[in-house]
Amino acid sequence: MKKIKSHTMLNVLNNPQYRGKHVIVIAGKVYTAKSGLEANRVLDKLEKLYPKETPAITYIPKADTLIL
């Protein structure tokens, strides 16, 4: 689990360092995971830390990924 400071999902989507990662934004903070399983574990921990916050969760594909 890697914690990076940021404020909005828009900042995350425009930042190339998050490509190929699962991203969770909660309470103005960004958390990343390399796999869906790891993202699920991170989310479980974050729900306990921030019970009144609603997380935004997404996967940002790499630049060369083809989405059909």
So what's the pLDDT on residue 24? 94
Domain boundaries, the chain: 2-60
So what's the pLDDT on residue 45? 96
So what's the pLDDT on residue 62? 87
Helix (H, G, I), strand (E, B) or coil at 51: coil
pLDDT, block means (10 residues), the chain with 68 residues: 65 90 92 94 95 93 76
CA-CA-CA-CA torsion for 19, 21, 27, 28, nearest 10 degrees?
-20
8 Å CB contact between 31 and 42: yes
So what's the pLDDT on residue 10? 86
So what's the pLDDT on residue 14? 87
How many whole angstroms separate alpha carbon 10 and alpha carbon 62?
Answer: 17
pTM value is 0.81
